[in-house]
């Protein structure tokens, strides 16, 4: 089961540091977390979502041991 890690505003919106998920594609995962964590909806479209540290398309398959990071935009630079 992939593990999703939430950072900064995404962590605040979900109330979670991380959670295990059962979705098998990134697109399915994005839809599921948006539905289960409505507070995430305003920022999720602007978040970088990385699978094993790499940006991938929503159709990308998720492996059981993948780490998925949800990173909101950060200020500064």
Q: Where are the domains of the chain?
A: 3-71
Could you tell me the CA-to-CA distances from 37 to 10, 19, 76 in Å, in that order? 10, 12, 27
Looking at 3.40.50.1980, 3.30.420.40, 3.10.20.30, 3.40.50.2000, the CATH number of the domain 3-71 comes to 3.10.20.30
CA dihedral angle for residue 16, residue 41, residue 67, residue 26, rounded to 10 degrees: 150
CA angle 67/17/77 to nearest 5° reads 80
Q: What is the pLDDT of residues 2-51, one digit of tens each?
A: 999 999 999 999 999 999 999 999 999 999 999 999 999 999 999 999 99
**pTM for this model (two decimals):** 0.92
């Amino acid at each position: 089961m992939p593990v999703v890690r939430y950072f900064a505003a995404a962590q605040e919106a979900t109330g979670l540091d991380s959670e295990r998920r059962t979705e098998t594609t990134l697109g399915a995962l994005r839809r599921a977390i948006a539905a289960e964590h409505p507070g995430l909806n305003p920022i999720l479209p602007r978040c970088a979502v990385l699978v094993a540290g790499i940006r991938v398309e929503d159709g990308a398959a998720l492996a059981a041991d993948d780490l998925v990071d949800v990173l909101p935009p950060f200020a500064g630079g």
